[in-house]
């Protein structure tokens, strides 16, 4: 970004060269959070004291060899990733009112720490991460730094706002139906959903939402995304599946040309209309890819818009959420009442309780079959280029409207859920802005386990585009 704060790779270099320290970086980030968060409501739990203790200790020692982001300030989303003893509310009123604290530290939190990241807070998320706007009753809405009247997307909207506004260069995110890519698109960021199995849910979970969900980060640069992915791609013994390691580090792959790729493009959907600004974003990117030497044609998987997809996806999601709610209810020692949970969430959980084991397994088998139908297209193409969402960032409140909210969400999510189901890597890149100046991302989807192709292609686009020259209205000095 033009006159932007350094990214995580640059900050780590400055620490390594002795030009700054983890403590100084943390104090700067805390100062930015104090100035900007009251307007954004991105960070809901502050962990300043323990972060200061960690940064002070780090400032007095050399970085271990594999701590490639030593001293870089960081935030974790208040969902999935846990650190023992720290607040964990997952956007839920019942957990908030019980002041629930995590009873264990997840493997991914340990990987972030091993990288050298200094976590000083947890970011806002919709209740249990179930929607694509971050406006939970429990903690209130997160506002988009590009225009405070608009949504940041979800469910990683708090993390997206914090990174977009320059509070931190990197923040944790996760994605079960677009929850990394949608906020990346709406806040002008890089958001990679890794391949299924690339990032472990250990120690307690083998998979989330039947393998549909995955963790990652939101960043402002491709190299930050690649460096973090190298650091968190570590399986936990006993994981039900994991992605094979890359031939070399993802970050080193950035220095290698992807060669001439065959790229399919889609800008229309049988599920609903697409805003012209989102079509323009894809078409302009397609022209740039052609200029970069790639072969681009209008083509996409025949299974992309299968009308049965959302039914089977909902069976898997609702069933898993019913169990998750029961576990959290047990953890706080009380049954969730109507005052402890939002109406939409309760309706989904009650729906999940109605499915039989046979119905659940039938839907899982359908989703597996769908994944194979999707994967076949990548035997002929290298990458698929699509919009991320079908319209520019909506205004706050639109997707929470009791009468129209669900309809509006369905109108937006035309291109993301498919790749949660198939498990393929997909990345949102901030290639465009709307006619009103709001960010619009494009999505690149790779073959299973081929994150390297997406990162290499993203690196080419980053070098050839002007996204670094754009900054939001609310941005750290």
State the catalytic residues: 77, 155, 179
Strand-strand pairing, 118-123 and 190-193 = unpaired
- Tokens 């081929």: give the residue: 450
What's the chain's Rg over C-alpha atoms? 21
Give the strands of the sheet with 214-219, arranged side by side: 43-46, 118-123, 73-77, 170-175, 214-219, 190-193, 426-433, 439-446, 383-387, 262-265, 295-298
Contact 441, 428 (CB under 8 A): yes
Of 290, 233, 300, 289, whose CA–CA distance to 266 is shortest?
300
Tokens of 394: 């909506």
How far apart are alpha carbons 134 and 399 in whole angstroms? 10
Q: Which residues of 307-326 are buried (b: 16+ CB within 10 A; e: fewer)?
A: eebeebbebbbbbbbbebbe
Task: Rounding to the nearest 10 degrees, give the CA dihedral for residues 141, 215, 184, 462.
Answer: 160
Of 286, 278, 226, whose CA–CA distance to 262 is shortest?
286
**CB neighbours (10 Å) of residue 221?**
24
Residue 150 DSSP class: B
How far apart are alpha carbons 445 and 443 in whole angstroms? 6
Question: 77: part of which helix (H) or strand (E)?
Answer: strand 73-77
How far apart are alpha carbons 134 and 397 in whole angstroms? 10
What are 101's strand-pairing partners? 87
């Amino acid at each position: 970004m033009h006159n932007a704060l350094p990214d995580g790779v640059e900050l780590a270099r400055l620490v390594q060269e002795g030009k700054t320290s983890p403590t100084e970086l943390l104090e700067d980030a805390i100062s930015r959070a104090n100035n900007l968060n009251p307007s954004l409501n991105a960070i809901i739990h502050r962990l300043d004291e323990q972060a200061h203790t960690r940064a002070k200790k780090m400032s007095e020692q050399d970085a271990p060899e594999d701590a490639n982001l030593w001293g870089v300030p960081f935030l974790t989303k208040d969902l999935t990733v846990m650190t023992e003893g720290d607040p964990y509310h997952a956007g839920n009123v019942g957990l908030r009112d019980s002041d629930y604290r995590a009873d264990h530290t997840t493997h991914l939190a340990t990987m972030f720490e091993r990288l050298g990241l200094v976590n000083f807070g947890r970011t806002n998320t919709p209740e249990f991460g179930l929607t694509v706007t971050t406006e939970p009753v429990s903690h209130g809405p997160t506002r988009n730094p590009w225009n405070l009247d608009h949504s940041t997307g979800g469910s990683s909207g708090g993390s997206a706002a914090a990174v977009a506004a320059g509070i931190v260069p990197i923040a944790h995110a996760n994605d079960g139906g677009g929850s990394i890519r949608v906020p990346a698109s709406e806040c002008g960021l890089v958001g990679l959903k890794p391949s299924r199995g690339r990032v472990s849910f250990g120690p307690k979970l083998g998979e989330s939402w039947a393998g549909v969900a995955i963790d990652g980060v939101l960043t402002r640069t491709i190299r930050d995304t690649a460096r973090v992915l190298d650091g968190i791609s570590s399986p936990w013994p006993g994981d039900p599946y994991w992605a094979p390691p890359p031939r070399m580090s993802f970050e080193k792959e950035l220095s290698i040309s992807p060669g001439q790729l065959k790229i399919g493009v889609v800008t229309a959907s049988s599920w609903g209309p697409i805003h012209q600004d989102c079509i323009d974003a894809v078409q302009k990117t397609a022209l740039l890819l052609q200029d970069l030497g790639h072969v681009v044609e209008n083509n996409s998987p025949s299974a992309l818009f299968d009308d049965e997809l959302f039914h089977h996806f909902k069976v898997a999601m609702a069933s898993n959420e019913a169990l998750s709610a029961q576990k959290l209810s047990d953890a706080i020692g009380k049954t969730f009442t109507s005052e402890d949970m939002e109406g939409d969430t309760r309706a989904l959980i009650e729906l999940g309780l109605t499915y039989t084991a046979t119905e659940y397994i039938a839907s899982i088998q359908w989703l597996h079959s769908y994944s194979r139908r999707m994967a076949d297209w990548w035997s002929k193409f290298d990458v698929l280029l699509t919009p991320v969402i079908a319209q520019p960032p909506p205004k706050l409140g639109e997707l929470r409207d009791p009468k129209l909210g669900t309809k509006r969400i369905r109108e937006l999510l035309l291109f993301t859920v498919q790749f949660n189901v198939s498990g393929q890597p997909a990345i949102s890149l901030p290639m465009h802005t709307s006619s009103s100046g709001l960010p619009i991302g494009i999505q690149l989807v790779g073959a299973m386990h081929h994150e390297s192709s997406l990162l290499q292609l993203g690196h080419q686009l980053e070098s050839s585009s002007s996204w670094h020259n754009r900054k939001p209205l609310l941005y750290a000095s």
